[in-house]
Amino acid sequence: MFSSLVCMCFLSACLLLVGARDADYGDKHLCLSEECLEAGHIITSKLDRSVDPCEDMFQFSCGGWMNNNEIPEEMQRWSALEEVSSKIEEQLLELIHQDGWIFKGKQSSAIKKLKQYYLSCVDVGTIEEKGAAPLKQLIEDFGSWTVTRTKKPWRKDRWNLQDAILKTHALWGSSFFGIGIVEDEKNGSRNIVTIAQGGVTLSEIAETYNEKSTRDYFMKAAFKLGELLGGSRHSVKAKMAKVYNLEKSLAQIFVSKEILTNPLNRYNLMTLREFQKLIGSWINMEKYMETVFRGRVLSYDDEIVVATPDYFKKLQKVVKDTDKETLANYIMWNFILPTVGYLPEEFEAVDIKQIMESEDEIEIPLSRQKTCLEKAVKVMPLAASALYIDLFFSQESDVKVVTAIDDIEHEFIKNLDELHWIDQVTKKNLREKAESMTNLVGFPDWILSPSKLDAYYKTLVVYPDDFWGNFIGAVQFETNRVLDSYKKPPARNKWEIPPHEVNAYYSVTDNQLVVLAGILHEPIVSAYYPTSYLYGKLGSIIGHEIIHGFDNSGRLYDKDGHLRDSWTPHVAEEFDQRAQCFIDQYDSYLVYNHSLSGLLTLGENIADNGGCETQLSISV
């Protein structure tokens, strides 16, 4: 998305240059309306005409905008997208602070819950008053550990590995592996259980565990947690060092991200019985599923998708080679970490990922209000979108956007004829997929119905003065929502990202392009922008998402969203050879002093470049 911003500047400059080249067309080709003149002013204001575009096209295209837009102190980066996001955030905060929960003229329980969740988060006094007591009780209730002092001492003879995993995974635990319910990528008529490697706090790359800095991050967080919960530094150091080594052992058997970039490698269908044989007898998977699925029927004959079978083959040995106490401490550590954002602010120092991310970027902490807004929106994204869209979103530009999507899709299809390395069989499949692509623009209409919105969040329980309890309630609500989808047909026309976010995305399993309401704002989109200017601004974003349907991952899904390679072998091989050029190019880049992985970023790089090319093609 951020690369598309460069493309926006570039295309604006190209439009100016093309206009200069075609000046001899005469006045009849000029648009002199107020809208066109305003668009021309916007374009020229972004340029730095002191620079020769042949020497530095980026500075020529975007230099004027950068000179006129300093990065705000509270931001790490700034662009037109951040500008719109920041404005939406301010508007949401304004709405959430308003008294009452009237929505569309009616009292709304959903809006009430959204506001109460937010208010329980900003109520720092109550959170501080409760202190670490909720976390200490959690540790007691879920099996205890030996890293810090507990009222009920951990006992080796009473602790059971399976019970510890079942109890923690029934909420948010992810020790050793993660589980979910998703659309079956080869059978779009059903949702299916998927299971994959997981459970490491730090990097999934084993080599990073040998770095002193990685160990220091881990121990810094562990020492802080020990200090807050009353553990001795000596005990924390000794016991958490063993947990660190266990995580290192897990990372060593992880399947690499590079292998998992191919969705075919992630799709391994087997029965639960076959998976039980694969993982070994240290855990009873039928009992696990019964507990985690809360009584829903999942037998040994049911099919699941295992993303990382090689990991599970090796996991049994890692578990058996680890002593009980370390296993107990690891499971509890994994269970504790997601909770630290719901405790007094001093627990933020235990957020190990935040500690690591702040190494290369200047850490700019969010205000409490913005942090709490993020948390409330995460729990009730559609309620937040409804509140915003009702008062601040206009659908005036929707028709233009839908037309732009159709035109850019047609341009992509037309350009297929120029790709001579693709044979006719594969081109036929590509055309069918592009022609079958559906579009969603804006937001789902039903969220503006108070009764439907309230019904969606009916089972979510929110208390005005219990932030910790609200966190647990939100987890239970979301877990039940996901579990209820098991063995049901997948929902269609679903909105996977909150509609008020400044974004667009492509869904491979739906073969669907979604442009969210949040991005349909000035200075990106306006009903008053001339069509040519709108295409220059929005075209690269739409083009980017369309290309995702045909990048290294998206190309492996057919027109119906099923995981099936419909490319002929020699064309697929040619694609891989051409993609290697992108891999090699992006491998050479450094980002925050770290080498970029051309393979891991391949899909985005193909979409950025392909989207810009499609946009340029339709613009000139």
- Average confidence (pLDDT) over 110-120: 98
pLDDT score at 436 = 97
- Average confidence (pLDDT) over 311-334: 97
Answer whether residue 127 shows pLDDT above 90. Answer: yes
- Average confidence (pLDDT) over 398-422: 92
Asked if omega into 523 is within 30° of 0 (cis), the reply is: yes
- Average confidence (pLDDT) over 472-483: 95
- Average confidence (pLDDT) over 213-236: 92
Helix (H, G, I), strand (E, B) or coil at 108: coil
Task: Calculate the alpha carbon distances from 485 to 166, 374, 521 in Å.
Answer: 21, 26, 34
Q: What is the mean pLDDT of the chain?
A: 91
d(CA 187, CA 616): 37
- pTM for this entry: 0.91
pLDDT tens per residue across span 56-68: 999 998 999 999 9
d(CA 257, CA 403): 38
CB 43 within 8 A of CB 12: yes
d(CA 217, CA 239): 16
Place of tokens 């947690």: 225
Residue type, 440: L
In the chain, what percentage of residues exceed pLDDT 90? 74
d(CA 453, CA 378): 16
DSSP state of 497: S
The residue ranges of every structural domain in the chain are 133-342, 394-448+491-617
Q: How many CB atoms lie within 10 A of CB 601?
A: 18
Taking the mean position of all CA atoms in its chain, how far away is CA 58? Answer: 29
d(CA 608, CA 591): 17
Q: pLDDT band at 43, cuts 50/70/90? A: confident
Instruction: Please count the helices (runs of H) and the strands (runs of E) in the chain.
Output: 26, 11
CATH 1.10.1380.10, applies to 133-342: yes
Q: pLDDT band at 2, cuts 50/70/90? A: very low
Task: Calculate the alpha carbon distances from 125 to 97, 184, 262 in Å.
Answer: 18, 46, 49
Residue type, 204: E
pLDDT score at 149 = 83
Which CATH architecture fits 394-448+491-617? 3-Layer(aba) Sandwich (3.40)
